[in-house]
């Protein structure tokens, strides 16, 4: 283990302290971080395999759930429908 490595529990504690200091209400944990972090990571050129490793996920299929790049395409397609 590297001396510079941040343990998962320490990372979560750090995030919770910052969220509390920012006044964000409600529960905040690793799923929230994944739901915001993975989309931003891949939108800025990061790969899904690297995102899977960074998010400490075992299966890339789970990472794809958080990948929202094609959501905007689907949303605009739906908005064009006339009822």
Ranges of each domain in the chain: 8-79
Gap between the Cα atoms of 31 and 55, Å rounded: 9
More confidently predicted of 6 and 22: 22
Q: What is the pLDDT of residues 16-63, one digit of tens each?
A: 888 889 888 777 777 888 888 898 999 899 999 999 998 888 898 988
Gap between the Cα atoms of 64 and 34, Å rounded: 11
Long-range CB contacts for residues 69-78, cutoff 8 Å, separation at least 24: 69/39, 69/42, 69/43
pLDDT at 73: 67
Q: What is the pLDDT of residues 8-18, one digit of tens each?
A: 778 888 888 88
């Amino acid at each position: 283990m590297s001396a510079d490595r941040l343990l998962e529990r320490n990372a979560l504690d750090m995030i919770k302290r910052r969220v509390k200091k920012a006044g964000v209400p409600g529960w905040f944990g690793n799923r929230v971080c994944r739901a915001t972090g993975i989309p931003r990571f891949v939108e800025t050129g990061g790969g899904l395999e690297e995102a899977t490793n960074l998010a400490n996920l075992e299966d890339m299929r789970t990472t794809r759930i958080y990948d929202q790049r094609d959501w905007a395409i689907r949303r605009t397609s739906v908005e064009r429908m006339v009822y």
